[in-house]
Structure 1
Amino acid sequence: MLIGLDPLLSGDLLRHLRLMGHGDALCIADSNFPGRSTAERAGGAFVEVAADAEAVGRAILSVLPLDSFVAYPVVRMEPIGRPDEMTAAHAAFARMVEDVAGPGWAMGGLERYAFYEAALRCRLVVATLARGAYANFILTKGVVGPDGAVVRAVP
């Protein structure tokens, strides 16, 4: 155990988060998502964390800045045929993002197969135990400024 670090942040996960640069993305995947094969096809890393997507997101966002230079630093997998629907997992994740990263972070959506394609561009896939429908998210890493604060783009 380390002081000040969420216990879900293993050394392996922290290493991969640290290796990511501005604009790199990671996928937080539910238990039905083809996480390992996606990471293998993408040439990226694969890490398993024994918690749900919201808890894993909370741990990751405690150390990872979101990207304020993109329209949607958080992207969710849309339910098939219902692109505007926010599932319970989506709503919980959105609340967690606001709680941890602060207000003003937009969450976009991608159709299932478009999400799979976007996940192939991720540097890291984090497999969770989430069993809720469509509990898959992509986070884009932002910038930490010289003062240690997350850099926010000016609109």
Structure 2
Amino acid sequence: MLKGIPAIISPELLKVLMEMGHSDEIVFADGNFPAASHAQRLIRADGHSIPDLLDAVMQVFPLDQYVDQPAALMAVTPGDPIATPIWDEYKAIVDKHESSEGKFEEMERFAFYERAKKAYAIVATGEKALYANLILKKGVVK
């Protein structure tokens, strides 16, 4: 254990967060996401929710200030009646650490998959909410 590092951040996740450079991206994938087949680096966080991980990660992870939208959500497929209240949780968590105003974009599902394949890492979670996938672009520490 370390002081100031939330216990939910595993040693493997902490290592990846430290390795990432400015503009590298990390995906927080829900339980239905094809993480293993899309990941360059796969981090297992089974049993953890994305909101819990996001809150912990945002304590140590700066979002990219030099792009308009450093966070991306997987858009609901047209015609799918699924609601996405988890997106409001994500925005509230980001707001807790820095302003989320205008930082989130929605990406079509297959475009999201292609972007995820290029991400530095994918964190496979136990998140059960649908359309809960999230990409964060790393910024710089000032």
Regarding TM over 0.5, the answer is yes
How does 1:65-104 map onto structure 2 within 5 Å?
65-81=62-78, 87-104=84-101
Hey, what's the Cα distance between the residues in 2 that align with 1:68 and 1:81? Answer: 31
**Corresponding residue SS for 1:115:** helix
Q: Which of residues 103, 115, 119 in structure 2 aligns to 1:122?
A: 119
The one-letter code matched in structure 2 to 1:95 is A
Partner of 2:20: 20
Gaps of at least 5 residues in structure 2 are none
How does 1:5-154 map onto structure 2 within 5 Å?
5-39=5-39, 44-49=40-45, 50-81=47-78, 87-104=84-101, 106-145=103-142
The one-letter code matched in structure 1 to 2:75 is E
Task: Indicate the structure whose relative CO is greater, using CA pairs within 8 Å and at least 6 residues apart.
Answer: 2
> Are the counterparts in 2 of residues 74 and 105 from structure 1 also a CA contact under 8 Å?
no
Partner of 1:151: none
Structure-2-length-normalised TM-score: 0.92
- Deviation for aligned residue 1:62: 1.1
**Corresponding residue SS for 2:132:** coil
The one-letter code matched in structure 1 to 2:10 is S
Gaps of at least 5 residues in structure 1 are 146-155
**Corresponding residue SS for 1:54:** helix
Percent sequence identity is 34
Structure-1-length-normalised TM-score: 0.84
Hey, what's the Cα distance between the residues in 1 that align with 2:110 and 2:140? Answer: 29
> Are the counterparts in 2 of residues 98 and 105 from structure 1 also a CA contact under 8 Å?
no
